[in-house]
Amino acid sequence: MEFIRRNNNLPRLQVMDGVYVIVLLGLLTFNGAHSQKINYADNSFDYLATSCRKHTVSLTDFGGVGDGITSNTKAFKAAIDHLSEFGTDGGGLLIVPPGKWLTGSFNLTSYFTLYLHRDAIILGSEEESEWAALPPLPSYGRGRDAPAGRYSSLIFGTNLTDVVITGDNGTINGQGAVWWDKFKKEKLDKTRPYMIELMYSDQIQISNLTLIDSPSWFVHPIYSSNIIIQGLTITAPVDPISPNTDGINPDSCTNVRIEDCYIVSGDDCVALKSGWDQYGIAVGMPTQHVIIRRLTCISPDSAVVALGSEMSGGIQDIRMEDIIAINSQAGIRIKTAPGRGGFIKDIYLRRMNMETMKYVFWMAGSYGQHADTGYDPKALPVIKDIYFSNSNATNVTMTANLAGIKDDPFTGICISNVKVTLSPKPKKLQWNCTDIEGVTSDVSPEPCALLPDQGLKKMVSCPFPTDRLPIEDVQFKVCSVGLQHLNS
């Protein structure tokens, strides 16, 4: 089921004094068997979710104050603790009503839905004391920002089953500027919080929300499975203002569906990960069976979709289609290095349209940044079976920068039916190819010698899987809610 799409498929981009202004063409529309009916006038509404809930409360029932000043950390905890009692009796729904709800980090529970009214804004606290401290992730061995632990994500959960975070395009604002400033000035001894992180969990839906200014990564499911991320609008100032504000980062996750999202990012719009060096190798949980489709991305200093660089548990069976990239550094980027180990294989991309790009394809086998000195430099990654087809790009500086690893080449690269139009001042070298092996067909500009053109008669197109992933067949239900004090 297609949950949400934008009319005309992409926003119009205007440039005013060097600032990118997004003008959305048309209204958000809902397609499929059911559309979302919002009827707040009589305090009732329908919404779409993988699971409906029997018990419903409002944040105001537990002392919540939506003035943007009062802390609601205790109110969120009390409401969720109450609803956790109904896991075996139809589950619980927490409504965040209209208002500005300041809070520190809080934990979710199983068989639970967090629903944001269209006029609700969750504000991340700027006080470090409002954020719980956590140990480093097992597959990372240390924090990404600092050797010590990390701050809990704004919305966090671990060992959960059947969790929905959704709304009528309500907003979560991480108020990340204070964290970005402290990070740049090296004033933090722990890794910055993410906006949403669910660990060791199953059956996750994150949909129909606006996410703004996360302190670091926005959406980070890790060690989890059966995940749908859909209909998100994610925005942060582009780098260097908002460092490491990746949009969606599935990490050691299986069976993932990412679709119909719009992302303006200070880092990669989507990054697939699976752990860092020896720690990721030891945990050994790959990210696999992922479909990414109908994504629109703007990321001037990073990639639309990145694989790595933390990929030591492996990344495989990734399917990408119908993606729009505007003013981004790279369309698809593979990042790895000696010491990573792991693998990136069975990667498929078709129908990607790109405008104003530094690179269309970028593969780097020398992306360092090791967790510590304990990694094994002989742990070489396996990069193979990468398939790109039926894509176009305009105003491009360099078509491809493909650099494998000496004595460990990237193999099985296939590129077909890809047309690239260069910028007014392109690089003289359009294909930089070292330590790679593969073939091409119907590609322009002319590929490098390591990717010989097979001609249309020998090879029509690179393959794309014809089977469906199990997550693609998960359907949404129409959930009805009646709440007399919705607007209290």
Which positions are annotated as active-site residues?
267
CA distance 165 to 231: 12
CA–CA separation, 33 and 372 (whole Å): 52
CB burial class (10 A; 0-12, 13-18, 19+) of residue 15?
A: exposed
Give, in order, the Cα–Cα distances in Å from 346 to each of 289, 334, 336, 465: 10, 13, 16, 10
Of 203, 275, 258, 240, the residue nearest 3 (C-alpha) = 258
Give the Cα separation of 57 and 87 in Å (integer).
14
Residue 256 and residue 287: Cα distance in Å, rounded?
9
Amino acid at 230: Q
Dihedral sign computed on CA atoms, order 440, 444, 449, 453: positive
- Residue among 217, 215, 303, 295 nearest 263 (CA): 295
